[in-house]
């Protein structure tokens, strides 16, 4: 079954370019011209992923993402003409899974969409790591895309879940950022160190809200490892 992608941009040409590229890759698309229409379409029918422009009048993409995250963990790929790193970090901090800057390559955008969708797909064959894993009070269930701490659910984006699953698969290993990218993104696209750091910071914040202050530890000069979860 083809995946359903909601494309949100106030520029009709950009919407058409993205929709054409995604449909050529075998996906279904629906389009929204602004943030309000995007929220309405998602509420009405849902989507497997949202390509969301940040710079829109009335209600921008950041505000739309904040609203979505109140009730949904649908993956979000931000699209923006802003090239400032702080804008990328803000987007990731509020719950986006990835970020593409205009002008963009439709081919790269499709690759990033596929990478995010792959992370949300349950494993189709036995994997080295079981679908459901417990490590102390930390639990991950890939089939249900559920994470919890001491039986309290923790809502993670697809990318955050994939990163944490990488750590729990080898709980005593220290991962450098390049290894995290290879394991968690599993696609040949560039992901900056700051992007990795931002996702890790967001995971920590969510688990801190659930009562876990050190789900991921920093090993200075090397990278990260799973924290004490007993």
Bridge partners (DSSP) listed for residue 110:
none
Query: And the tokens for 121?
Result: 């797909």
Residues counted in the chain: 230
CA–centroid distance for 139 within its chain? 19
Q: Which residue did the predictor score with more confidence, 125 or 2?
A: 2
Quote the pLDDT of residue 113.
93
Per-residue pLDDT reduced to its tens digit, 89-126 = 677 777 788 888 888 899 999 999 998 888 776 544 33
User: What pLDDT band is residue 223 in, cutting at 50, 70 and 90?
Assistant: very high
Q: Which residues contact 80 (CB under 8 A, 6 or more apart)?
A: 53, 54, 55, 61, 87, 91, 99, 100, 101, 102
Q: Which of 88, 84, 141, 76 is nearest to 112 (CA)?
A: 76
Per-residue pLDDT reduced to its tens digit, 57-67 = 878 898 999 99
Which secondary structure element, helix H or strand E, spans residue 113, and what is its range?
helix 106-120
CATH number of 4-120: 3.10.180.10, 3.20.20.140, 3.40.50.2300, 3.40.50.300?
Answer: 3.40.50.2300
Domains in the chain: boundaries:
4-120, 132-226
Q: Is the pLDDT of residue 229 over 80?
A: no
| Peptide bond just before 103 cis, omega within 30 deg | yes
Per-residue pLDDT reduced to its tens digit, 13-42 = 999 999 999 999 999 999 999 999 999 999
The top-level CATH class assigned to 132-226 is: mainly alpha
């Amino acid at each position: 079954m083809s995946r359903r992608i909601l494309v949100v941009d106030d520029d009709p040409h950009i919407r058409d370019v993205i929709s054409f590229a995604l449909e050529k890759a075998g996906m279904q698309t629906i389009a929204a011209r602004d943030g309000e229409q995007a929220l309405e379409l998602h509420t009405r029918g849902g989507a497997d992923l949202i390509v969301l422009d940040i710079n829109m009048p009335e209600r921008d993409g950041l505000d739309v993402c904040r609203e979505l995250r109140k009730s949904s963990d649908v993956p979000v790929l931000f699209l923006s003409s802003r090239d400032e790193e702080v804008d990328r970090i803000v987007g990731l901090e509020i719950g986006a899974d990835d970020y593409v800057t205009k002008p963009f390559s439709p081919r790269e955008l499709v690759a990033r969409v596929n990478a995010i969708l792959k992370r949300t797909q349950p494993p189709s064959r036995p994997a080295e790591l079981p679908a459901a894993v417990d490590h102390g009070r930390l639990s991950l269930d890939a089939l249900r895309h559920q994470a919890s701490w001491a039986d309290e659910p923790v809502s993670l984006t697809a990318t955050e879940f994939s990163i944490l699953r990488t750590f729990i698969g080898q709980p005593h290993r220290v991962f450098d950022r390049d290894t995290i990218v290879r394991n968690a993104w599993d696609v040949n696209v560039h992901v900056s160190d700051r992007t990795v750091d931002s996702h890790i910071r967001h995971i920590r914040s969510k688990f801190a809200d659930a009562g876990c202050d050190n789900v991921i530890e920093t090993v200075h000069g090397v990278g990260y490892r799973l924290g004490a979860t007993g």
